[in-house]
Structure 1
């Protein structure tokens, strides 16, 4: 096993991390919650500077999510327009346009590729032997709370401890989110891509959360960029929800599902309306309770991390960083939260976000009057009717 250290761009043996060969297509596959958004933001913001140093960012956006979802046969987020093969082919055309220059792509959704056949298609269409796969890893105990609240933002109704029990204690560990272990059984993820790309063309970077600039420096070294070229880009929309915010949304998800409202309405009014506005306008303070992982789950995650580290070390891939970090028992964030009530200001911003999203769809016509009055209609039916009317207005844009 080759274990290197990303700190100061030096390996454990004191040698610098050599840049990848000119013409390499560096494919960063995540997985989720391992610094993907921050590195995507830094690369996209510096795309013009990258060109001056012989590196292209072929995607037209910070994150070509639709294209990657289509390539990996994944549906989009709840209620979003389904990605199509056209999205993937457009991205491939942009990659081919870089010619023999070095290029870099990053999407955590590449980690969702379900099997070797899909991985082989992705690698082959992106350039085969020119592709070098980069996998970024963090300890499971740090990933799980962020991943749970992300699932809640896509409609999950299960509480955190119950979700942890399903993921860690209830085989086959596929409910309610089968994608979790496809992404975060990191040893199998590395093995899957190494079987196709070849172990010599796979690099694993173990992210050290104590070194905030370590990941960007590693990308700079691999791409042959000047130190300091990649800088973090603030992105409030990507911040994790607090426990209170997540619990508010989780209970809203229950009402939404119980009343059988259309998924498109969830995308427009809840995720891209209420939640997005709340994240953009509310900054969590020191008094806001974070999502806390119980100690039993932290210890279970550390045990899995140790097994994954051992298997990754035996794959023959290059490892930058310390694989032992994957099995460290993290004491932070294990305290029991005493109060998870959402602040009135945050609730108001969320409600305004939903109202603003609904108001963005102009009213073109009014539905025919019903024979029953509002007072003669059950609350559940009222919610369903209002939901369908809002969706109809949104579709008229």
Structure 2
């Protein structure tokens, strides 16, 4: 019998990081219930996504990225589990041809497609924030306008990664409808753990014994995200490279410096509530018509009125941006001072280690004496 393999390809910002955190923290518990994570390491999962999407960059990525998809069937077989899970939300933007290639590589498996989906009132602001943390520089108002109109900066990227029907059209391929699964993200106020229960229940796993895992996504406020967008707009191309920006711009500046600030969240303008409802109804009707499997409730896709801004717009003021920038600069200076102190401490330790035992004068004069002695030894 062919091994079932569940391709969880997105959508982004639908609890994917939470679910992946639970999965990686619970590998042994999942294995005990017959579910294997393939590939077997988080970085290899990312490598697989790069290979599927033809994103390999020899200057930024390890050589093992090439051929990651070719290795996947063997990894499934080697796992020897009753089922396997691939979970990488950045696969959602793959082209139809790239999705076809991945399914073809797994022709010997029973392929299932899994999408986690959420209402647009929460999804659009989250997608904008993610785009900014991925080097984007589009202000929130312009981003929302482009998404609603379906044209303009950010609109194409949003459609490819967030439009449920567009992603299904590219990824469902010739799969029978019972092997295409939509897991709905519950509305605010739902008991904790509901999403995990839905997701892992689909995979035949009892979530009761799973660990919570680590949280990898860090939200930043509307003001802080607008500030980051402006900063991104001033960066030279060299600083915006994926391998550089990910560590410095996203994981350090955004997720440590800016996330530490208290900021109000970005919220969908109330003027677009009817648009969100209409799009939800369109998705619900299509999913029902196609006969896809739904885990949860399609009513979760209809937005809660409380998710919208009280007014049609909640503009960010220059004063708010200035305050956020000042706080961020202060944090950067504090970090730089700490790094400088550590570097100087390492330098002092090396000098002390190089000095002759029993001949280590203390203080600044001692340091100068040791330096003069080393210079003199070098001239001899």
TM-score, normalised by the number of residues in structure 2: 0.75
Per-residue displacement from partner, 1:155-202 (whole Å, max 9, x unpaired)? 222110111111212x4x263352210222212322443332221211
| 1:327-342 paired onto structure 2 within 5 Å | 327-335=302-310, 336=314, 340-341=320-321, 342=324
- Aligned pairs (5 A) from 1:158-177: 158-169=138-149, 171=150, 173=151, 175-177=153-155
For 1:258-273, list aligned pairs within 5 A: 260-264=237-241, 267-268=243-244, 270-273=245-248
Aligned residue number for residue 292 of structure 2? 317
Aligned to 1:30: 10
SS in structure 2 at match of 1:233: coil
For 1:357 and 1:81, the matched residues in 2 are separated by: 27
For 1:357 and 1:323, the matched residues in 2 are separated by 50
Aligned Cα root-mean-square deviation (Å):
3.3
Q: Alpha carbons of 1:354 and 1:310: their partners in 2 closer, same or farther (altered >3 Å)?
A: farther
Given the superposition, is the C-alpha separation of residues 131 and 350 from structure 1 closer, same or farther in structure 2, using an over 3 Å criterion?
farther
1:93 and 2:70 aligned: no
Task: Select the structure that is richer in helix.
Answer: 2
Change (3 A) 1:157 1:100: closer
- Residues 301 and 261 (structure 1), Cα distance of their counterparts in 2 relative to 1, 3 Å cut: same
Confirm or deny that 1:154 pairs with 2:134.
Answer: yes
Q: Unpaired segments of 5 or more residues in structure 2?
A: 343-380
**Counterpart check, 1:288 vs 2:263:** yes
Deviations 1:309-360 (A, max 9, x none): 1111111111122213223353235142566441744443356678999999
Larger Rg: 2
Q: Is the 8 A contact 1:273 1:350 kept in 2?
A: no
Shift of 1:230: 2.7
Do the aligned residues in 2 keep the contact of 1:27 with 1:134 (CA within 8 Å)? yes
CA contact (8 A) 1:26 1:104 kept: yes
Instruction: Kindly state the Cα deviation for residue 139 of structure 1 after the two structures are TM-superposed.
Output: 0.6
| Whole-Å separation in 2 of the counterparts to 1:353 and 1:91 | 42
Contact 1:95–1:126, Cα closer than 8 Å, also in 2: no
Match of 2:272 in 1: 297
TM-score, normalising length from structure 1? Answer: 0.72
2:220 touches 2:263 (CA, 8 Å); kept in 1? no
Question: What CA deviation, in whole Å up to 9, does each residue of 1:256-282 have, x standing for no partner?
Answer: 14xx54533x742x5412542342466
Structure 1: segments with no counterpart, 5+ residues: 1-20, 361-397
Match of 1:188 in 2: 166
1:246 has 2:221 as partner = no
- Residue 207, structure 1, aligned to residue 188, structure 2: no
Alignment of 1:32-51 (within 5 A): 32-51=12-31
What is the rounded CA distance, in whole Å, between the counterparts of 1:357 and 1:151 in structure 2? 30
CA distance, structure 2, for counterparts of residue 203 and residue 33 of structure 1 = 17
CA shift in 2, pair 1:205/1:219, >3 Å = closer
* Aligned length in residues: 330
Q: How far is the alpha carbon of 1:109 from its aligned partner?
A: 1.9
Contact 1:299–1:329 (CA under 8 A) maintained in structure 2:
no
**8 A contact 1:309–1:323 mirrored in 2:** yes
8 Å contact kept, 1:166–1:176 = yes
Matched-pair contact (CA < 8 Å) for 1:135–1:203: yes
Change beyond 3 A, Cα 1:163–1:313: same
Instruction: Indicate which of 187, 194, 198 corresponds to 1:218.
Output: 198
Task: Give the direction of change, closer, same or farther, for the CA distance of 1:33–1:23 in structure 2 (3 Å limit).
Answer: same
Q: Matched residues in 1 for 2:139 and 2:80: separation?
A: 49
8 Å contact kept, 1:31–1:184: yes
